[in-house]
Structures are given as C-alpha cells and as structure tokens.
Chain A
Amino acid sequence: MPKMPAPADAIADWRPTPAMAARLAAWAAGTEGSSRSSALIRIGLAMLFWSRWAGELLLYRDQSPAGLFLAANFFLATALLFVGYHSRLAAVWTGSVGLAMYYYFGFELGREPWTHHHTYLLAVAALLIALTPCGRSYSLDRYLAVTRAERAGVPPPAERGNLWGLRLIVVQLSVLYFFAAFDKSNHAFLSGARLEQIFLWFYAGSDYPSGLAWPATIVSVAVVALEYCLAFGLPFRATRRYLVLPGLTFHAIIYVTLPVYTFSATMALLYIAYFDADAVDKVIARLQGIGSAAPAGGEIS
C-alpha cells in the first residue's frame, strides 16, 4: 500500500499549473488595453495632489531655498501631469516630489502630517501610473500626437498600451487592505475597544456615551471582515461586483468622519484600476457618444 505523503512533501510537490502561471503572467504583464482609464487616474491624481498640498505649498508659505525648490517642483510636475505633457515623465516627477515630501520633509525635517499614509499612497500612485499609457488619452501628448498624424496623413496612434502599471496598482490596493485588516485582527480592535477610543478621541471627549459598546463591536468586526474581503475579492470580477459599492461606502464614511485627508478619495480613484480598461473605455464612449479605443466585446465588470 503506498504511503501517504507527509504534509511537508505535499507542500514541496505543489506547483502552479503552467496554464495558471501563464494566465497570471498574461494578466500581470501581457495585457494591452485602452489608455483612457489610466488617463483618468492621471488627471485625478494631479487634482488630488493639488487639493491636498497646493495651499500649503504656495510660494509665500515657506520661503527657504528648500521650501521654494519643493513648491516649484510640486506645481510644475503636477501641472504637467494634469495637462498630460510628457505625461509619464511628469508622473515620475510628481511621484518623486511626493516621496521627497514623505521621506525628507516628513521624516527628516519632521513636517507633519506628511509622514502619513495618504502622502505615501499618493506618491506611490503617481509612480505607478507612470508605468501605464496614461499620456495616450486626454492629454496634451495625445493632442500633439493626433496633430502630427494629421500632418503626416496617417491615422492617429491608438489610445492603447500595456496595462501592467494598473495591475501593480491592484496589487498595492490589495496589500494595503490586507495589512490594514491584519493590523486590526486582535482582541483590542475586534472587541470594539479601539473604535470606542477613536470615537471618544474625535467626538465624545472623556464621557463614554451609553449604548456605544455593541455598535462599536459590530462595526469593528464588520470593518475587519470587509477589509479582508476587499483585499482578496476586488481583483476578481465575480466578487468585485458585490464589493465595489461597500468599499466606496466604507471610504466615504471614513472620509466624512475621520481626518484621512485625501486617502479615501485616492482609494476611490484607484478603484478604476480594478476594472477592465476596455470596458471602462466603452462606458466612456457610450456616455460621450464618441468612438471607443477598445475592440468590441468588453463589458463593464
């Protein structure tokens, strides 16, 4: 009678099937699609950078050489990102400015709340959008490309490109949700105690409101469960349809109840990366009555 393998042998023998690995690789790095969803994220990120820091970085605010240098870089990089001139370079520039704010001005010089997660997320999102064809739609780059094509008497370049940057945004969001849930997977949070403390901190002061205990516990468990679901469910079409609305509602509630700055808005914007780029393109085309850059067949999913 053959001997059953020990668990360790079973793990050692486990291999992803070549078909699965090929599908994953194709999804991650080999997908071409419409550039319009990447462009929407590019424009949204520029606006989020402005809404978060434009006021703080006005030239009169910090007139030190470092402050003026930062402000000049910030406004130039984000303006280029917004209008889409040398879009991918502008995205790298904007992301680098964000990381300089986070690491140097935040951690080194102690400027707060620049070390917070919303700063890092915006900076990283800008760097990741640089890996997408974000300049091929809704941009000055696109206008110039079409103009050049018209002059040359050739069709305008396709609004398409490799979408691996969007895949990395999906990975980033799932990692974020997973570790946010992991951080809360303890008795202190799940009992409701941490949520009660946060409620007292921002709202109630040192007077515990009667009837808070049960709602705090229920909401705490729901938040952790939702974050795990968002981490593992949003990347897949079958589960995404049930999670997008709860995810956006979750961020909307956080946005209006806690000082998360641009975090919720950034997350909501980056949700575009979860959707099939060609399907997003088709929705845009349908809404605007314009031609689609996507081949036929895609549905919003």
Chain B
Amino acid sequence: MAIAGFMITGPAAEQVFRVQSPWLRSWTMFSAIGVGVVDASFEIRGPDGALVPLDRFEMFGAPRNGRLKWIQNREDLASVIKRLCTVAGQGADIRVRARLGTRGGWQAIHTDAENACAG
C-alpha cells in the first residue's frame, strides 16, 4: 500500500498540487519539447504589387536541412528578417507571420500587417 501510495502521490503532488521536487516523479512526457519553436512564413511583394511566398532558403542559397531550418527564437527571427531585407534590396516589402510555441499553445510574435523591412 505504501509503495502504491508513493507511486500515486508523486505525480499527484507535482501535476495537481504543483509541488516541484526532484524526489517526486511526474509523468509529463515531452511537456517541454517544442516549447520555444518558431513557426514563420514569409511573403514578398512582387513588381505587380501582389504578395508571393518567399523561400528563405532560396533567397540565401542555403541548404534546406541546414541551420536555417530552425529559427530558434525571437532574436533569430529578427536576424533572419534583417538578412532577408538586405538581400531583397532597398524598398523591399516583406511580410512576416510568425508564432512561438508555448506550453499554452501558439503565441503570435509577428504579424504581416506591416512591411517588416520598413524602419
């Protein structure tokens, strides 16, 4: 009974009552994996005024399975945007939609309402 009780109280304490201790084992597998991942999509305004998808790998001539595959955080996203704007040239209109993975779901961190290269 004591052993079974310990099996139950450990995760109950941490997952129900939020008691944090390494001595108590919760069963929250992969609860932190994916948190912090950035989902980003890019569009660029063409000569005809229409927005078309922008492939950042093609733009940079970078391999699709390289470092650029994962945008690590907000700072990394800002860096990618800055580089895209530089490569696209002065006056480019690049729209960026990005969201950040959190434990509570997705959190928008960049909208495509404005030109990311402006300012």
Contact = CB atoms under 8 A, between A and B. Distances in A.
B39 interface: yes
Given A180-B29, A194-B34, A207 B41 contact: yes
Given A103-B22, A107-B22, A117-B27, A197 B101 contact: yes
B16 to A, nearest CB: 8
A191 B101 CA distance: 13
A152 B71 CA distance: 73
A85 interface: no
B50 interface: no
Interface string A183-198: 1000110010110111
B57 to A, nearest CB: 9
Contacts of B16: 182
Contacts of A69: none
B34 A183 contact: no
B103 A172 contact: no
Interface residues of B, number: 34
B3 A168 contact: yes
Given A183-B15, A183-B28, A187-B105, A201 B22 contact: no
Contact of B27 (A128, A183, A187): A183
Given A194-B103, A200-B34, A205-B69, 20 more contacts: A117-B25, A117-B29, A176-B27, A179-B11, A179-B12, A188-B103, A194-B105, A200-B37, A200-B39, A200-B101, A201-B33, A201-B34, A205-B71, A206-B37, A206-B38, A206-B70, A206-B71, A207-B41, A208-B39, A208-B41
